[in-house]
Amino acid sequence: MDTGAGNGASLHHSVLDALGLEITAGTLAPGDGLTLDGIQERFGVSRTVARETMRLLESMGLVVSRRRVGITVQPPDSWHVYDPRVIWWRLAGPGRDTQLRSLTELRIAVEPLAAAAAAREATTHQRERLLQLAVEMRALGESGRLDPFMDLDIEMHSLLLRASGNEMFVALTDVVSAVLRGRTQLGLMPHRPVPEALDLHDEVARAVAAGEHEAAETAMRRLLAEVRDAMAPIRPRKP
């Protein structure tokens, strides 16, 4: 049982992750029922933790609670697929390859246009920061320091989305951050970023800094094509 605020928060996140992973992996199938009593007994948590966990899962569309029916697991078409936690659970489960493919296709559709818009709309400070990020990322990438490289990679792609001036693109910042972080934390990145990827990050940064919107769009499209091609070996073979 949780005995304090800190311990309760830790238990809450543990229960949330466990159930989120089971639902997104299909271990708990659509239509399966859950109860607060069952969650309390299984995880040894308080009623408060069980109720808050169900509230969060319902806010993500993974379950629905109805009077006289109870708590029911929902099908994937009800999930809030842009929620970073849902993305992480899907990346950590058996549907990883499908999730990576769909997220990469989303990025290919959005980020080249965002880079082009950033070349037109970015502030002087944002342009300078992009150039600085590209230099720092090359140094970290060539030395194989993946964790700090990932942090700067996330900052760069997030900055491009914000600099685009398009609120719809900006709203995808957490989605792009989640997939970049997930690829690294799940060991889906090479030990050192390939030289072509580093070169293309440089090209994107330079084009945006120079206000060359067509070059920025092309470089980002090529960068994401490299990401897509790098995923090919992990895709399931067709029967």
> Which amino acid appears at position 14 of this protein?
S
Cβ burial of 37 (10 Å; 0-12, 13-18, 19+) is exposed
pTM: 0.84
Give every CB contact of residue 187 below 8 A, 6+ residues apart in sequence.
none
Reported as a pLDDT band with limits 50, 70 and 90, residue 238 is very low
Residue 220: count of CB within 10 angstroms of its CB: 28
DSSP conformational letter for 237:
P
Q: Are 58 and 69 in contact (CB under 8 A)?
A: no
pLDDT the model gives residue 188: 67
CA 139/CA 200 separation, integer angstroms = 14
> 23, 32 in Cβ contact below 8 A?
no
Locate all alpha helices (DSSP H) within the chain, ordered by sequence.
5-25, 36-43, 47-59, 84-91, 96-121, 124-142, 146-163, 167-170, 173-185, 195-210, 213-231
97: pLDDT strictly greater than 90: no
Q: Round to whole Å and give the CA distance between 136 and 133.
A: 5
Q: At a CB cut-off of 8 Å and minimum separation 6, what does 188 contact?
A: 100, 182, 234
**Is pLDDT of 161 > 70?**
yes
Round to whole Å and give the CA distance between 223 and 76: 30
pLDDT digits (tens, 9 = 90+) for 167-177: 999 999 999 99
Band of the pLDDT at 9, cuts 50, 70, 90?
low
Closest CA to 29 of 87, 77, 76, 91: 76
pLDDT above 70 covers what percent of the chain?
90
For the four alpha carbons of 24, 28, 32 and 33, in that order, the dihedral sign comes to negative
Average pLDDT, the chain: 89
| C-alpha torsion sign, points 7, 8, 13, 17 | positive
CA distance 140 to 142: 6
SS3 66: strand
Domains of the chain: 5-78 (1.10.10.10), 84-234 (1.20.120.530)
Q: In Å, how far from its chain's centre is CA 74?
A: 21
Cβ neighbours of residue 132 under 8 Å, at least 6 residues apart? none
3-state secondary structure of 4: coil
- Partner residues linked to 233 by β-bridges: none
